[in-house]
Chains A and B, each alone.
Chain A
Amino acid sequence: MSKHPCIGIDLGTATSEIAVWQDGAPLVLPDPDSPGRSPVVPSIVAVDRSGRLLVGESARAYVDLPGSGARQVKRRMGSGEQVALGGKAYRPEEISAQILRLLKSNAEQALGVPLTQAVLSVPANFGEAQRKATYDAARLAGLEVVRMINEPTAAALAFGVRNSDAEGQVVVFDFGGGTLDVTVLEMMEGILEVKASYGDAQLGGKDFDQALADLLEQRFRLAHPQAQASERARAELRSVAESVKTQLSRHAAVQAFCPNYAVEAGRPLDLEFEVTRREFEEAIRPLLERARKCLQASLEKAKVQPRTVGRVLLVGGTTYVPAVRTLVAEIMGQEPRREVDPDLAVAQGAAIEAALIAGEIPSDQGLIKTDVTSFGLGVNVVGFVGLHMVNDLYDALIQPNTTLPYQVSKSYSLLHAEQKQVQLCLYQDHEGTAKRVVDAQATGLSAEIEDIPVSETGEPHPLEVDFSYDLNGLIQLRARIPTTGQEVALMTSRDGARSLDPAAFAQSKAKVDDLWSRSPLANRYEGLIRKAERMVPELRPEDRKKVHQATAALQEALASGDESRVEKAADRLTDLLFDLDGA
């Protein structure tokens, strides 16, 4: 095993998982809070009445109380929106950092070593802003992101690592709680080649829940037009809808029950209906249509016919819904297989990716993966459209779905001989169809050459651009005017220009740490200290002094944040109290 364990994290909309590469296979680590020690951690964060932070399974009871819980923050990543939690406003990445901290703490407990780095999975359709927010969330949780891997690619890795002799096209249909991603891959001679990814960033199982909740609510309104439902009841109805949806995957009809849902004329009313699978499927039909379009578009983008696809892998909780499976089977002309675990494959794949990066999987015989960029990058240029000179054209340097690493050189020219300066602004294009910069999104990255001397030949200076984009998302752009020798280089990585500036980061980090310190997990020693305080009055004076010292040492160690010191101090206090208690 290398110095660091190879860790992969699937930070999902509805659930999150953490996996480690161990003994030549990925292992998803269990959640100690879950009753059955299942590895699936719900992606929810809440603050209880006493201000304690609850993350994951333990947050369930509070998460739907208005203002005290946060669900589905992944959908708001990179949006700049704020999430209200316990009377304070947090950025989505600050909430996500709490979930990551829980996963990290779980894994540290299971593995017995501190974790500092991990591979994080993100939906293939995540843009730069969302990726950056995810990156920041990891840093706020004290994790260095080794690589971000697209979720469907990770799922395919989980499949590929066990089936490295498989040949042919593979389609991964990744339908999670918040997003839908479809990725087309090709496997040949142990090389897993990602060909194209396409997705709908705003379509997921949570929309199914909402559709079902709307259906129930509508029926309730018909029966009780005068009844008033509270905000909290509505939130509860959504969790009811979620569980009904899950049950409908197994049963043809399910009883939906939400006690004390509304009040009519001072009398509380229960919501109670039977929902059949057919009714549910009717309610989600528009959503299924969107999923159909998405799947068809991605096949088209990869230039793949459904009949040439050898395997279809289903990933993500939403693929348990029978109507989704039917839809995929209908378009692909074959039954999708359950060759990977829909809930765990992404985390496993992320751990495999970590192992690949660390060189744990030998390249001469093991699996090799080639990945693509999920968005294109280009620069702003001036050009002619017919007769009209247009100054906001987009010129692609790299198209979406290009295999990485990638390098390209392009030649441009300045506009006129007297031009004094030139600025190259980098834009990103998700569809691969941008013609003008308004169709693309600004990345905020730009390079500028100033004080360009007047061209002596009367012809505008030429401008040469070298561009490279590597597996780590590192963009290198070099612009050069060969006639004057002027040059400017732009290099950016996820650690550099993309991340928060140090001041904002420190502020955010303090906020996150403050919130985390209110979690019972952070205060694993709180109980110990309280116990010590309780025991003190009953002790002999000389023992009192010892206990006081040991407690103070522990508190000091806790404040310093040095884990090994904390452990030592805690052990000393434990031994002391143990001996005293026995005496």
Chain B
Amino acid sequence: MEDPYAILGIPGTASPEEVRRAYARLVRRHPPESDPSSFARVRRAYEVLRDPARREEHDAEAIWGDECRALVQEAEEHLHQGRPARATALLKRVLVLNRNLDPARRLLVRALGAQGRFREALREAERRISRSQEDLGPLCQAAWICYRWIEVSRDHPVRRRRLEARAHDLLDRAHQADPEHLGVRVVRAELYRLMDRPERALEWLDGKSPGGSGNRLWNLKPRLIEAALMIDRLDRRGLQACLRGIEFACLVGESEKEAGLFFVQQARKEIRRGSFHSLRWLIHAAEVSGSGAQEVRQALAPLKDLHALIRERNRIPPKLWGVRRLLGLEIELIRVPVEREAEILRHWEEVQHRVLEEPHRLRRRWARKLRESCPIFSGRNQPLLAALEEP
């Protein structure tokens, strides 16, 4: 982006009136009819500088942009390593430089919440609501802070009631912004649970998911994401519950990283199991959580081979039973847990032995087929191939 001040030929301190006059002068020189491209350039500059909010944003980015980004990154590190007080100080500095930097304020709310400074956290969260373009995230974060505050306010009934009303108000607005949003429903349910009104909580959960899956969500502990991390049985429903947890965690700005890493670990386990259905969900989740997508892809590399192998095996005619069997064992080797590997390899030896007893003509065809079918196989079994091809 070119410097709009330079385009209009005015100093950074120019008043709105001076901006207007500079623009008017330049439009006369570059009218839209006869000089459209220069006009478009002048217009772009004018549009940034005429709007006080955009001008401020531009100034902040041009002068302090790099510094702010570095500070935010540093603060995030501190936050992840459990030093929220340090992060708070850095983030406040960022916001002094550029008060419109929403990501910094989001982190600040998190950092304050982590220190139990809920009053300040709630104030910042509400500033986000009034300033940010996006609806859902800031609303959910504010509701989440209310929720955490309620948790520790057992002995202050007046404050509790006030916070409950506030949280409901925030959630109502979030619900309006996206009635489909499960995260909002889950927080609402949690809120009712804290208020000792489980029947209302279930209503909110079941409103979206009839047929008992509400109960599973019900089991998610207050820190939803932690609960999601603990669920190990990853059937479809369990995964959906995890995803809701993650979705929520993303909204309130907590634990995306942990969630992502968890899914990476799960993905690795699933590859061993060869359960493709769950895998799809896992990759999806890891990508959504914004971290670990690359790792998941790497972890999936053997899975690709697996797919290729299965496809190959299904194409081989039954007459070539030996090749089919060997490829089948290859597949098993990728899928089974480590402790069963020895057993499979024993089977392998047996099959290899029988294959080598087949007549010579068939052996040549098998060798060719095996070479074509699967590079992994030929790599592992050079000796077998050599034996098959022997005259």
Contacts and interface: CB of A to CB of B under 8 A. Distances in A.
Chain A bound to chain B: yes
Interface of A: 188-191, 356-357, 359, 363-364, 368-371, 384, 386-387, 389, 403-407, 458, 470-471
B195 interface: no
B40 A405 contact: yes
A190 B25 CA distance: 10
Contacts of B229: none
A188 B24 CA distance: 7
Contact of B183 (A364, A371, A386, A404): A386
A384 B33 contact: no
A406 B24 contact: no
Nearest to A365: B28
A368 B32 contact: yes
A93 B92 CA distance: 63
A406 B39 CA distance: 9
Contacts of B27: 191, 368, 370
A331 to B, nearest CB: 25
B24 A403 contact: no
Which of A189, A357, A458 has the most C-beta atoms of chain B within 10 angstroms of its own C-beta? A189
Contacts of A370: 27, 32, 39, 43
B288 interface: yes
B183 to A, nearest CB: 7
Contacts of B34: 359, 363
B239 to A, nearest CB: 11
A386 B40 contact: no
Given A190-B28, A357-B33, A471-B32, 18 more contacts: A189-B21, A190-B24, A191-B24, A359-B34, A364-B28, A368-B31, A368-B32, A369-B32, A370-B27, A370-B32, A370-B39, A384-B288, A386-B178, A386-B181, A387-B243, A406-B43, A407-B37, A458-B297
A368 B36 CA distance: 13
B126 to A, nearest CB: 23
A405 B36 contact: yes
Given A189-B24, A364-B28, A370-B32, A387 B247 contact: yes
Contact of A405 (B21, B39, B246, B247): B39
5 contacts: A387-B246, A387-B284, A403-B43, A404-B32, A405-B37
A370 B297 CA distance: 51
Contacts of A384: 288
B20 A188 contact: yes
Contacts of B40: 405-407
Contacts of A189: 21, 24
A188 B183 CA distance: 50
B169 interface: no
A8 to B, nearest CB: 15
Nearest to B288: A387
B235 interface: no
Nearest to B246: A387
B3 interface: no
A303 to B, nearest CB: 9
B74 interface: no
B33 A471 contact: yes
B32 A386 contact: no
B36 A363 contact: no
Contacts of A471: 32-33, 36
A453 to B, nearest CB: 18
B92 to A, nearest CB: 30
B31 to A, nearest CB: 4
B182 to A, nearest CB: 8
Contacts of A364: 28
Nearest to B243: A387
B66 interface: no
A363 B288 contact: no
B21 A363 contact: no
Contacts of A387: 243, 246-247, 284, 288
A359 B33 contact: yes
A467 to B, nearest CB: 12
B218 to A, nearest CB: 20
Interface string B366-384: 0000000000000000000
Given A357-B33, A407-B40, A363 B20 contact: no
A190 B27 CA distance: 10
B389 interface: no
A427 B317 CA distance: 51
A364 to B, nearest CB: 6
B47 interface: yes
Nearest to A303: B51
Interface in B1-26: 20-21, 24
Contacts of B37: 405, 407
B208 to A, nearest CB: 13
A368 B20 contact: no
Which of A368, A371, A384 has the most C-beta atoms of chain B within 10 angstroms of its own C-beta? A368
Contacts of B297: 458
Interface in B147-184: 178, 180-183
B139 to A, nearest CB: 13
A334 B297 CA distance: 66
B26 to A, nearest CB: 10
Contacts of B247: 386-387
A191 B42 CA distance: 14
Contact of B28 (A357, A368, A386): A368
Question: Across chains A and B, which 5 residue pairs bring their CB atoms closest together, nearest first?
Answer: A189-B24, A363-B31, A405-B36, A405-B40, A387-B247
